[in-house]
Structure 1
Amino acid sequence: MRELTYYVAVSIDGYIAGPDGEFDRFLVEGDHAAPIWARYGGTAPTALAEAAGLPVEGGPFDTVLMGWNTYAVGLPQLPSPYQHLRQIVFTRGHEAPAGAEDVEFTDRDPVEVVRELKAEEGSGIWLCGGGALAAVLRDEIDRLALKRNPVVFGDGIPLFARSSYAPEAFRPTAVTAFDSGVVLAEYARG
């Protein structure tokens, strides 16, 4: 069965973006970049990866899931950001923009969609954002891969939006600290 991995950059105080949706304080260069790309290749928008000379094939994921706000960060320049992956955007009330013919937009229940995806053949499923979608899918997330950055936002979009659920433990599978201050912390359910 396929697994859902929430792979995302996060501040040390638990935000995936600042108060105005900004994420430009996350480090994209440094001694962490190559090792993390080796582990999670294919997780940059296709055009950006190609411009940087990074291969997009052979990564751990063949499907990427996004909420509308995460998807809309790249508009209008990147209406199909991850052309090398199957792209599914969860939205209510937004229409597909021009150039997004290979992006699936759905208002279906995310849990139902993820359960169907897990039953299909393929490799991993990547939840790349955002916090509200992660909260809805919390019980379906098999793995967490958090790129903790040495920055404090103080407010913003939390890793998981507020919701009423009981605490649940994930067990650490790997923690790698880099001189840049980035820490890749990986966890598995239970």
Structure 2
Amino acid sequence: MSRNVVLYIAASLDGYIADPEDSLDWLFRVEGEGDNGYGAFYETVDTILLGRRTYDWIMEAEQGRFPYTGKECYVFSRTRQGRNEHVTFTDRDAASLVAQLQQQDGGRIWVVGGGDLLQDFLREQLVDELILTVAPVLLGKGIPLFQQMDVQTELLLQGTRRFGQFVELHYTRK
């Protein structure tokens, strides 16, 4: 059985994952419910994929405390290679790394972000599930969840859930 690659992410109603200053403050002002399903999702994941800018942003926001300890983590980077105590830096193309990971036993593979990495995964049709939590905020501009692509992807709705003011949409690729 193949391990699913999952995009699990929050976005504004108008489709942005961060404001123009890379801030998520708008997201934390929305009234949710508990952890909005994050804990249950996180338990299904054993491998995490991040872009380098997202990794750097997380490390700064978390003041050096890595939030994904105990999970196998890869950071896509053109300039940094090797390992540290938490992640493996790689310049491999997404498709070959995912193919290798899917040959191994394990749980879901979570594509955390950012925007450029998400674009690569969507363009290459590597995302099996998309779990999008929509916040009732219109940002008007910022970092878009979806950029223009030459690839059309059809999805099947698996379910919806409400967490306070958030709505979670769960899709699988057709």
State if a TM-score over 0.5 links the two structures. Answer: yes
AA partner of residue 169 (structure 1): E
Instruction: Name 1:92's counterpart in structure 2.
Output: 78
- For the residue of structure 2 that corresponds to 1:70, the secondary structure is helix
- Residue correspondence of structure 1 range 163-178 to structure 2 within 5 A: 163-165=149-151, 167-178=152-163
In the superposition, relative to structure 1, how do residues 119 and 96 fare at CA in structure 2: closer, same or farther (>3 Å)? closer
Instruction: Name 1:161's counterpart in structure 2.
Output: 147
How far apart, in 2, do the equivalents of 1:143 and 1:106 lie?
23
In the superposition, relative to structure 1, how do residues 75 and 27 fare at CA in structure 2: closer, same or farther (>3 Å)? closer
Instruction: Name 1:9's counterpart in structure 2.
Output: 10
Task: Give CA-to-partner distance per residue, 1:118-142, whole Å, 9 cap, x none.
Answer: 1111111001111211111110100
- For the residue of structure 2 that corresponds to 1:114, the secondary structure is helix
Distance apart, 1:162 and its partner CA: 3.1
AA partner of residue 34 (structure 2): A
> Given the two structures, how large is their TM-score scaled by the length of structure 1?
0.80
- Residue correspondence of structure 1 range 1-190 to structure 2 within 5 A: 1-27=2-28, 30-34=31-35, 36-40=37-41, 42=42, 59-76=43-60, 77-78=63-64, 80-94=66-80, 100-138=84-122, 139-165=125-151, 167-178=152-163, 180-190=164-174
- Contact 2:82–2:90 (8 Å) recurs in 1: no
Distance apart, 1:81 and its partner CA: 3.3
Distance apart, 1:161 and its partner CA: 3.2
Instruction: Name 1:45's counterpart in structure 2.
Output: none
- Contact 1:4–1:143 (8 Å) recurs in 2: yes
Gaps of 5+ in 2: none
Gaps of 5+ in 1: 43-58
- Contact 2:81–2:91 (8 Å) recurs in 1: no
Q: Which has the higher strand share?
A: 2
In the superposition, relative to structure 1, how do residues 29 and 155 fare at CA in structure 2: closer, same or farther (>3 Å)? closer
- Contact 2:81–2:90 (8 Å) recurs in 1: no
Task: Give CA-to-partner distance per residue, 1:71-105, whole Å, 9 cap, x none.
Answer: 111235226331121110001114679xx323100
- Contact 1:80–1:103 (8 Å) recurs in 2: no
- Contact 2:50–2:112 (8 Å) recurs in 1: yes
In the superposition, relative to structure 1, how do residues 105 and 28 fare at CA in structure 2: closer, same or farther (>3 Å)? farther
How far apart, in 1, do the equivalents of 2:96 and 2:81 lie?
21
Identity %: 32
AA partner of residue 144 (structure 1): L
AA partner of residue 183 (structure 1): V
- For the residue of structure 2 that corresponds to 1:140, the secondary structure is coil
In the superposition, relative to structure 1, how do residues 157 and 35 fare at CA in structure 2: closer, same or farther (>3 Å)? closer
Distance apart, 1:164 and its partner CA: 2.4
Kindly report structure 1 stretches of 4+ aligned residues shifted beyond 3 Å. Answer: 27-31, 94-97
How far apart, in 1, do the equivalents of 2:131 and 2:115 lie?
14
